[in-house]
Structure 1
Amino acid sequence: MEAQVHLINDDLKNVQQYLAHDTVDTIVCNPPYFKLADKTSIKDNPVLAIARHELKATLTDILSTIKILLKENSHAYIVYRPERLSELFSIMTQEKLQPKRIRFVRSLSNKDANLVLLDVVKTVKSASLRVEPDLVIYNEKHQLTKEASLIINGK
């Protein structure tokens, strides 16, 4: 895969030094979920702290970079928290990114969703949003559901 995959280990804000505007077909992104002002505790491990909290990049920084890099009508796949969904949609609108598909993830069927999966397209056209059935990870016996097992284990 080395001929096809090139790793870039740098600050997101420097990405245009490596990738040109409107050149990327697909982006997969798991941005930090928590603002610095949130009451969640910041991890002592700096790598985990940066991954979880907007220490180095805000949601606006990330979505702006997605808009810059994506080709027109190309997709980004984002994992995020439902409690920040309205903010996510608001910034996406500013950045001309349209949600195409949304799916909530629940650990158990009777629990609130703790993640949301989004298929986002860069377009100037209006897009229709399809809400897919929730993905439930565990059944009543706390075993992976068939769908979760297929996704996680490939079987």
Structure 2
Amino acid sequence: MQQPVHVPLYEGERIDDLLTHELKIIQSHEVFCFSMDAVLLARFASVPKRGRVMDLCTGNGAIPLIMSTRSGEAVLEGLEIQQRLYDMACRNILLNGLEKRIRIFHGDVREAVTLFGYGQYDLITCNPPYLPAANGEVNERDHFAIARHELLLNLEDVIRVSSQLLKNGGKLALVHRATRLIDIVTLMRQYKIEPKKMRFVHPRRHAEPNMVLIEGMRNGRPELRIQPPLIVYEQGEEYCEELHQIYYGQRDSLA
């Protein structure tokens, strides 16, 4: 990693520790911060050692930053529609001295094929908005509403565009609510992405899963491998041993 550089912080912003490989990240309570979902996806996705990787809805760039610890010589990119988050992501890349390895673009996922072309990527990741626009109480602050609700982008948009951007044999990795699993699998197959591996995330043992990690291959053959469940909290509020290893850099992958 290159030497980090000084970057400006704006009102309400802070620098947090990503807890792996000495990476830092600029965040603000005024916009949607990265969460465990992003960390799990970045560790679950089959990151190639070479090639081209795109993170859709990249927010402040947490997923490309974490994937940079696993990607070898792969080119990492992120696409974000919100100007404030795009600017924050660009500064996060500079903060960590990764401007030669990660590129951030400002734009709409629905126009990504026009921006980047068909069949350009080996891997696409996305931590998309989880809630349909009509469901739940929509936060009046746009940054939160756009991140949580399908106001500007829905699940079908993500999967359709990903299918167009992927090379034949390229992979799409998503993290989403477990309750949307049937929608995800149905749409993947509709757009010629065959689910290949999946893992449920449970908050506690004996609780229903609240998240699902799933990866599919463009024009892949049918064969889905279901990995052992990830139990976040084993006792009280203590993370399980696997999460400790992920967060503190002793383990590079959830795969």
TM-score (norm: length of structure 1): 0.92
Task: Quote how far apart the aligned CAs of 1:84 are.
Answer: 1.1
Give the AA of the match of 1:143. E
Answering whether residue 179 of structure 2 is matched by residue 83 of structure 1, we say yes
Partner of 1:109: 205
Partner of 2:248: 153
Task: Quote how far apart the aligned CAs of 1:8 are.
Answer: 0.8
Structure 2: how far apart are the matches of 1:152 and 1:104?
18
Answering whether residue 234 of structure 2 is matched by residue 139 of structure 1, we say yes
Answering whether residue 120 of structure 2 is matched by residue 23 of structure 1, we say yes
Pick from 39, 56, 59 the counterpart of residue 152 of structure 2. Answer: 56
Task: Quote how far apart the aligned CAs of 1:49 are.
Answer: 0.9
1:96-115: per-residue Cα shift (whole Å, max 9, x none)? 01110010001111211110
Answering whether residue 115 of structure 2 is matched by residue 2 of structure 1, we say no
Give the AA of the match of 2:104. L
Partner of 1:34: 131
Query: Secondary structure of 1:137's match?
Result: strand
Structure 2: how far apart are the matches of 1:16 and 1:101?
26
Structure 2: how far apart are the matches of 1:8 and 1:130?
33
Pick from 162, 166, 182 the counterpart of residue 66 of structure 1. Answer: 162
Structure 2: how far apart are the matches of 1:128 and 1:113?
22
Structure 2: how far apart are the matches of 1:141 and 1:4?
39
Q: How many residues align?
A: 153
Q: CA RMSD in A?
A: 1.3
Task: Quote how far apart the aligned CAs of 1:68 are.
Answer: 0.5
Structure 2: how far apart are the matches of 1:135 and 1:147?
8
Partner of 1:96: 192
TM-score (norm: length of structure 2): 0.57
Structure 2: how far apart are the matches of 1:154 and 1:30?
21
Task: Quote how far apart the aligned CAs of 1:44 are.
Answer: 2.3
Structure 2: how far apart are the matches of 1:152 and 1:92?
30
Pick from 218, 229, 232 the counterpart of residue 122 of structure 1. Answer: 218
Structure 1: how far apart are the matches of 2:134 and 2:140?
17
Query: Secondary structure of 2:110's match?
Result: helix
Give the AA of the match of 1:89. V
Task: Quote how far apart the aligned CAs of 1:126 are.
Answer: 2.7
Structure 2: how far apart are the matches of 1:119 and 1:88?
10
5+ residue gaps, structure 1: none
Structure 1: how far apart are the matches of 2:170 and 2:247?
26
